[in-house]
């Protein structure tokens, strides 16, 4: 900056020299500002990693299985993280029917048991059998739901047998579907490139707030899906309370219908017998406008309403019928268990036998039904 002090814009300098001096001043100021901004981001990332890394663990589970007529012991590994001082661990894609589960943390091997599993989102809650006296954990009550596309994300993962470390990316979009499949709740699509063992890890914004758990990798697109913090909290609360998740259910089927504005209305086209909606004053052909506090602009909005609805509560359905807006109360009940089983399971933890690797399918695992067909909510 000392060189700038010698630039005196008086009559001895030509207009071109003055313009160059102003440009040089602007360039150096911009470069200094950019360097400071990058250093600030780097500092925030380091601070988040230092503060959260001790909460992240490697999850391993094993069981005996028959493969090709031979009995082998399967091993699945992935990421997880402590969410309580009592030793609760949240993870995804846990090996089904595991006969042994353990956590690797701080060079220790700690046995754990499964408290509960949510098949619809493939999320599992574990608990250490003998938790250490002091546990650093992540508070998922500190929910950040208002991140915009382009926001920085910091994940802390356990890739295979490597040391726990950060992975960086951007929030790309909020998605209710993938292809012809509808998610049970809104997902976050990120540019975090996930490898084997990195699903089930916590992800934070630059303020250090927990924003979701890595859920599924999309290697061909160099992106991934995160289950948001609000969904993790909803599942965690039910699993701790009863070992299972009770989702709300309305018992309506809907379809999309193109309207005069060339946008889609969500239209009720049927009811499940003896369902809450069937017992209400809703009618086939009603256009859904709002459920509770959620405006219904897509079937994803309706899926999200059902996901967060609590059984044995009453929600108001606002509909349009014969060009009139009407409101009807609906008594929410628990979703039938047959509707909670997904068609695809997210094989998020790396699968292998003790001696031979077995590649599991990499599917999203939380999809429900085709977007354009009738969907049961």
**Gyration radius from the chain CA atoms:** 26
CATH classification of the domain holding 296: 2.30.42.10
- Residue 33: the pLDDT is 54
- Residue 339: the pLDDT is 66
Walk along the chain (377 residues) and give the pLDDT tens digit of each residue.
Answer: 444 444 444 445 555 554 555 555 555 555 555 555 666 788 899 999 999 999 999 999 999 988 888 888 898 999 999 999 999 999 998 888 899 999 999 889 999 999 999 998 999 999 999 999 899 999 987 565 678 888 999 999 998 888 999 999 999 999 988 887 888 899 999 999 898 899 999 999 999 999 999 998 888 888 899 999 999 999 999 999 999 999 999 999 999 999 888 889 999 999 998 899 999 999 999 999 999 999 999 888 999 999 999 999 999 999 999 999 999 999 999 988 766 655 433 433 333 333 332 222 233 333 334 444 556 77
**Number of domain units in the chain:** 2
Final residue belonging to a domain, choices 113, 128, 143: 128
Residue 150, in any domain of the structure: no
* Residues 244 and 230: beta-carbon distance below 8 Å: no
Confirm whether pTM is higher than 0.85.
no
Final residue belonging to a domain, choices 84, 99, 128: 128
CATH classification of the domain holding 83: 2.40.10.10
Final residue belonging to a domain, choices 73, 107, 128: 128
Residue 3, in any domain of the structure: no
Residue 312, in any domain of the structure: yes
Residue 25, in any domain of the structure: no
Residue 281, in any domain of the structure: yes
- Residue 39: the pLDDT is 62
Taking the C-alpha atoms of residue 350 and residue 361, their distance in angstroms, rounded to an integer, is: 10
Residue 37, in any domain of the structure: no
- Residue 5: the pLDDT is 45
Q: Which domain holds residue 119?
A: 54-128
Residue 199, in any domain of the structure: no
């Amino acid at each position: 900056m000392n060189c700038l002090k010698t630039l005196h814009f008086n009559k001895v300098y030509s207009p071109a020299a003055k313009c160059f001096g102003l440009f040089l001043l602007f360039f150096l100021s911009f470069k200094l500002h950019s360097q400071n901004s990058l250093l600030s981001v780097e500092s925030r990332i380091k601070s988040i990693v230092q503060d959260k890394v001790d909460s992240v663990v490697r999850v391993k589970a094993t069981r005996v299985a028959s493969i090709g007529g031979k009995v082998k012991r399967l091993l699945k590994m992935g990421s997880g993280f402590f969410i309580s001082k009592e030793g609760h661990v949240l993870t995804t894609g846990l090996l089904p029917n595991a006969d042994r589960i353990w956590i690797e943390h701080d060079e220790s091997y700690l046995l754990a048991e499964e408290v509960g599993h949510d098949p619809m989102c493939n999320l599992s809650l574990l608990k250490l059998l003998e938790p250490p006296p002091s546990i650093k954990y992540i508070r998922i009550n500190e929910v950040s739901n208002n991140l915009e596309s382009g926001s920085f994300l910091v994940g802390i993962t356990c890739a295979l047998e490597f040391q726990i470390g950060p992975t960086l990316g951007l929030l790309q979009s909020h998605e209710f579907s993938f292809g012809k499949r509808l998610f049970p709740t809104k997902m976050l699509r990120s540019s975090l490139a996930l490898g084997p063992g990195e699903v089930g890890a916590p992800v934070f914004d630059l303020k250090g707030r927990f924003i979701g758990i890595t859920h599924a990798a999309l290697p061909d697109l160099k992106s991934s899906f995160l289950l948001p913090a609000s969904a993790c909290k909803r599942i965690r609360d039910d699993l701790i309370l009863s070992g299972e998740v009770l989702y709300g259910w309305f018992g309506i089927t809907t379809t999309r219908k193109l309207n005069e504005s060339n946008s889609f209305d969500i239209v009720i086209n049927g009811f499940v017998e003896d369902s809450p909606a069937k017992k209400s004053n809703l009618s086939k052909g009603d256009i859904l406008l709002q459920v509770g506090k959620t405006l219904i602009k897509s079937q994803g909005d309706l899926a999200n309403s059902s996901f967060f609805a609590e059984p044995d509560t009453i929600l108001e359905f606002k509909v349009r019928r014969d060009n009139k807006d009407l409101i009807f109360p609906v008594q929410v009940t628990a979703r039938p268990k047959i509707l909670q089983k997904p068609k695809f399971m997210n094989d998020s933890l790396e699968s292998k036998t003790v001696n031979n690797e077995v590649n599991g399918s990499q599917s999203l695992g939380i999809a429900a039904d085709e977007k354009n067909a009738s969907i049961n909510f």
